[in-house]
Chain A
Amino acid sequence: MPVLQANNLHKRYPGRGRQPVLALDGLSIEAEAGSVLALLGPNGAGKSTTVKILTTLARPDSGQATVAGYNVLTQAELVRRSIGLVAQKSSADPMATGQENLVLAGRIHGLGRAEAHARARDLLARFELVEAGARVVRTYSGGMARKLDVALGLVHRPRVLFLDEPTTGLDPQARRQLWHEIERMTGEDGMTVLLTTHYLDEADQLAEHLAIVDAGRVVVSGRPEDLKDELRGDALTIEFTTAEQARSGRAVLARLPLQDVVVEASRVRARADIGPEAVPAALSVLESAGLAARSVTMSRPSLDDVYLRYVGRAYTAEAA
């Protein structure tokens, strides 16, 4: 039985003086116990609204959801006892030390004084924050504060942990460190994790199951490997010198049996059933049209290709 389930969630925000904003448009997801489910999508796709509803911070206009077996609307208090939340923004009290933040979080979740202190020490050690634990959080770096946020979400050993864009704003090294901690945590503690992200590589690295969210609904879900395997053939990336050449190249390449041909700045991306045959064919038609490709790359389909296939547009940094 899924430990987390949302069914046909709808949510609309009043748009102050403008049209109402449709945040969720029939979103449905589920996650089995002990798994990591990633919600992948650009900003405004509905990921954070989903997290708000599942953590009882917001109410859906319609639809149902259960977390740890409890209804988020009618058993909100029991849901809150069962979950940990690591929100998009760092949510530690900046005027308290790391240790004090963890002890307070433990106490309000029902841990006794001694147990809360012991748990805080354990988590500070686990997240390599022992020395920083006695300092007020406003002195922490972004990476340290984020690790403390994750520790705060774990202090009461929740059944379900929500990680809302946990690595947004971190430098690459801090991101990798946090990924390592998340992997270790889910592997060791066996909790169910709902992770939202707009980083394709993050979803690929951490999630056992993936739901791509766009415009408030899930457009496709499954295991990342299965989703990529469903895209038969190979991904081609053809680099041109200018965006204009890339647009001309796309028109020329339309003569070939390629799928999902899109232009991204000065490059054309496409999918071919048999890559090794498609590459010389593509170079040939481009050459006959007087277009010179700077490079051609062939690879196995990635989550970018999965996103393109199901959402109908490339996953760009601008969208995210």
Chain B
Amino acid sequence: MAFTAPAPAGTLTDAVLLTGRSVRALLRQPAYLGISLIQPVIWLLLFGQLFRSVIDIPGFTTRSGDYLEFITPGVILMTTLFSACWAGTGYIEDMNLGVMDRLLASPVRRGAMMAGALAYQVLTTVVQALIVFGIAYLAGARFAQAGRGIPITLLAAGLICVIMASLSNAIALLVRQQEALIGISQFIVLPLQFVSGAIMDTRLAPGWVRHVARYNPVDWAVVAARQSLSAGTDWGAVWPRLGALAALAIVMAALGTRAFGSYQRSA
């Protein structure tokens, strides 16, 4: 006769509990927390100074005429991209610590484990993005449509975060090695960043770059964020890109969750 086991917590509760676990761990590492928050600020101020003259190049299109306003959403998306691509290191650490196997042998659903990890990443992304907006404001950036542009930028960053963190977590579950994850992440991140309009107007880039950028989710997010922050927003450029990002985020999160099956099969 089968034993009547107690009902486990729901998927949402599990995801919230696991997110809380990650947030608590982050808050207990002040040095890491500080670097995570300062890094995008440095990027913003560094790139803002380094490339400030590019707006004088004929053909460079920025409605405000200020490079800081142009690059702020780019830095937010770059920060999101880099942070999310390292998300899998958390899974590998859990594997090495034995925490992963303890969770997998518990009633926690795999979807909750993925959702918890992604929610933590999105939370840190949103905090980083708000800090970048704050620093940009202090440095003199003024966005024509901050009221609607900031939430849309946060949404775009959150979706990129889900896409890339799902990929990173899936790679971690498949390769199980920090070194392999680092190598694969670097292989993916730099092309995604540079073949996008994050720090440069793609209209100044060669034709093939413009063509490839049309299929780059990072560029979709940059365009959606930049358009939503500008006066005279072209909503026809925003909503389709956000829709595509949302669809891709769902697909990637589902694929990431399926990677637990591969981890189990090779255990």
Contacts and interface: CB of A to CB of B under 8 A. Distances in A.
Contacts of B31: none
Contact of B6 (A68, A89, A90, A109): A109
Given A70-B2, A82-B3, A94-B97, A136 B107 contact: no
Contacts of B17: 104, 107-108
A267 interface: no
A77 B264 CA distance: 14
A91 B99 contact: yes
Nearest to A90: B98
Interface in B1-32: 1-3, 5-9, 13-14, 17, 21, 24-25, 28-29
B105 interface: yes
A57 interface: yes
A22 interface: no
Nearest to A81: B5
A10 to B, nearest CB: 15
A69 B21 contact: no
Interface string B103-114: 111111000000
Contact of B101 (A85, A93, A152, A156): A85
B99 A93 contact: yes
Contacts of A96: 21, 24-25
Contacts of B3: 3, 68-70, 82, 159
Contacts of B102: 85, 87, 91, 105, 152
Contacts, number: 100
Contacts of B25: 93, 95-96
A149 to B, nearest CB: 9
B174 to A, nearest CB: 14
Contact of B8 (A100, A108, A152): A108
A109 B5 CA distance: 10
Nearest to B8: A110
Nearest to B98: A91
Nearest to B113: A108
A114 interface: no
Contact of B264 (A57, A136, A156): A57
Contacts of A3: 3
A89 B14 contact: no
Contacts of B97: 89-91, 93-94
B267 interface: yes
A271 interface: no
Given A91-B97, A95-B29, A105-B106, A58 B5 contact: no
Among A52, A81, A136, A152, find the residue whose CB has the most chain B CB atoms closer than 10 A. A81
Contacts of A89: 97-98
Interface in A2-55: 3, 52, 55
Contact of B24 (A52, A56, A77, A95): A95
Contacts of B107: 77, 80-81, 108-110
B259 to A, nearest CB: 15
A59 interface: yes
Contacts of A85: 101-102, 105
B267 A69 contact: no
Nearest to B108: A108
A105 B14 CA distance: 10
A120 interface: no
A109 B14 CA distance: 9
A317 interface: no
Interface string A61-102: 000000011100000011011110101111111111000100
Interface in A200-230: none
A300 B225 CA distance: 80
A152 B101 CA distance: 13
Interface in A175-198: none
Contacts of B104: 56-57
A14 to B, nearest CB: 8
Nearest to A70: B2
Contacts of B105: 55-57, 80, 83, 85
B158 to A, nearest CB: 25
A93 B2 contact: no
Nearest to B109: A77
A110 B9 contact: yes
B21 A93 contact: yes
B120 to A, nearest CB: 13
Contact of B98 (A68, A87, A159): A87
19 contacts: A56-B105, A59-B265, A68-B3, A69-B2, A70-B2, A80-B106, A81-B6, A81-B7, A85-B101, A89-B98, A91-B98, A94-B97, A95-B29, A108-B14, A108-B17, A108-B108, A109-B6, A109-B8, A110-B107
Given A83-B105, A107-B17, A108-B17, 14 more contacts: A57-B104, A58-B267, A78-B5, A85-B101, A85-B105, A89-B98, A91-B97, A94-B97, A104-B17, A107-B9, A108-B8, A109-B8, A109-B107, A136-B28
Which 3 pairs from chain A and chain B are nearest by CB? A91-B98, A81-B5, A69-B2
